[in-house]
Amino acid sequence: MPTYLSPGVYVEEVPSGSAPIEGVGTAIAAFIGMAPQGPVNTPTMVTNWRQYVALYGDITAGAYLGHAVYGYFLNGGGNCYVVRVGADANGDGNSGAVDRSPARARIGDLEVRALEPGPEGNATTVEVLDPPEGSPEGTVRVVVARDDQREEYDAVPLSGRGNVVNMLNRGRLVRVELDPAVAQLEDLPRGITSLSGGELVHVDVAQAHLSPDDYIGDAADRTGFAGLETIPDVTMIAVPDAMAAYQKGVIDLEGLKAIQLGMIAHCELMGNRVAILDAPPNMNSQQIKDWRVDQAGYDSKFAALYFPWIKVFDPASGQNVFVPPSGHVAGIFGRNDDTRGVHKAPANEVIRGAIDLEINITKGEHDSLNPVAVNCIRAFPGRGIRIWGARTLSSEPEWRYLNVRRLFNYLEDSILNGTQWAVFEPNDRALWAKVRRTIAAFLTMEWRKGALFGATPGEAFFVNCNDETNPSEAIDLGQLTCEVGVAPVKPAEFVIFRLSQFSGGTSLVAE
């Protein structure tokens, strides 16, 4: 309370009540994979396809990251994060799709390499001249130039402290190495030398030698998808290039399983996101079922598996190719949330950009895959290619459906963020009432949107925050406990119409 010391009229602003809870974002994807350029192991937000191309380059052969991000935006996805793996800290290493070979030259006993990778390095020149008059013996003058950049070194010693190798390596244009067979540099041939050989070499992803650890990463080092622990906004993750590595033999099925188990563990640890898993390629329905049940054996309410792969146009080769569906599926999650809401199962939706399927699943094959939580993608005559499954990989019936898991992620994050004001408030009945009103108002809004099941709010949810949930022992420990229960809507996965014959003719109807 303010202190009033003199007579007068005072105006005070007082809060009208607790702040309402605002819903968090539900469809922000994170993609981990290989690209020809861009920041390495740095989660970077991308808002559209053009921005992705500017940062990471276009779709390239041997990698699926570009296809996944393009499919994500094409199918209605919004913002996403991209984590590039497969390059060194400077971004110069092999990305698994394109290698930028540096321009080089030999000058006497020195090996000179341009810092600018690719063809741009060919514009670099190194000129060795006699030192200015009066310079000490055993020195040279060196001029390094590229386009409008120029670095000049007067009277640089050939050996000893501050020698020509050390000096040139401090610049921004070249890196220099002394021939290992030479103990000490005696002299350099005078003249100008142009660096050459810088080019873009398309290589196979198998040459990247990526291990599962490169994808999984480490949270402390902020690498791989473990580095996404610092990005609380992400709600789904996909690693399409794990399949590229598997196809080329860089990793086997056990390595692929290690990556996908890492994705699942990450999502379970964070508790607010789901892993979109791709099924391995070149398998029929029975093989996928055997792999899912006997080899993978995943059991998680934070992951979903999609089969088969889809065929899309590949601008890198000018042909149609099969790609993992996870990027397109993530885009459909976003489209579904925008048009219907996170409570609606992201299924029975057309996959934009899909030309065909790797295998067309029959009704009988689907009957065997759906019970083991393989979300099938099917082609229907006149209705296009659609996602025809919405199950998690959980064995718990209450978490069977993907929309239920994602709805709870949304509700939990929204309530968590929207009740931070309650921390350090006096833990009394007035605070309990404010918390009840705040959460009840938010859940009532969600019920009106159709996210909760029930004819009335009382049937759809309950919020308990009273003496029963907050005994004196808990209050002494500084704890406030609020119990919230909701009845989520579940998808009509099996729509059944019971038809029967009845005898026609007139009938008497009692009035």
107: nearest Cα among 129, 137, 92, 89: 129
What is the average pLDDT across 152-175? 88
What is the average pLDDT across 432-441? 95
Q: What confidence score (pLDDT) does residue 353 get?
A: 95
Local confidence band at 468 (pLDDT 50, 70, 90 cut-offs)? very high
Greater pLDDT, 316 or 79: 79
Can you give the pTM of this predicted structure? 0.76
* Residues paired with residue 484 on neighbouring β-strands, in sequence order: 463
Greater pLDDT, 14 or 266: 266
* Cα–Cα distance measured from residue 436 to residue 210, given in angstroms and rounded to the nearest whole number: 51
C-beta separation of 212 from 258 below 8 A: yes
Q: What confidence score (pLDDT) does residue 162 get?
A: 80
Greater pLDDT, 430 or 101: 430
Of the ranges 313-317, 318-322, 441-445, the best mean pLDDT one: 441-445
What is the average pLDDT across 125-153? 91
Q: Over 80: is that where the pLDDT of 504 sits?
A: no
Q: Mean of the per-residue pLDDT values for the chain?
A: 89
Local confidence band at 480 (pLDDT 50, 70, 90 cut-offs)? very high
* Cα–Cα distance measured from residue 43 to residue 239, given in angstroms and rounded to the nearest whole number: 13
C-beta separation of 242 from 259 below 8 A: yes
Local confidence band at 95 (pLDDT 50, 70, 90 cut-offs)? very low
Report pLDDT digits (tens) over 294-310: 999 999 999 999 999 99
Local confidence band at 410 (pLDDT 50, 70, 90 cut-offs)? very high
Residues near 383 by beta carbon (within 8 Å), at least 6 away in sequence: 350
Q: What confidence score (pLDDT) does residue 507 get?
A: 53
Domains of the chain: 29-93+204-403 (3.40.50.11780), 98-202 (2.60.40.4290), 425-511 (no CATH)
Local confidence band at 205 (pLDDT 50, 70, 90 cut-offs)? very low
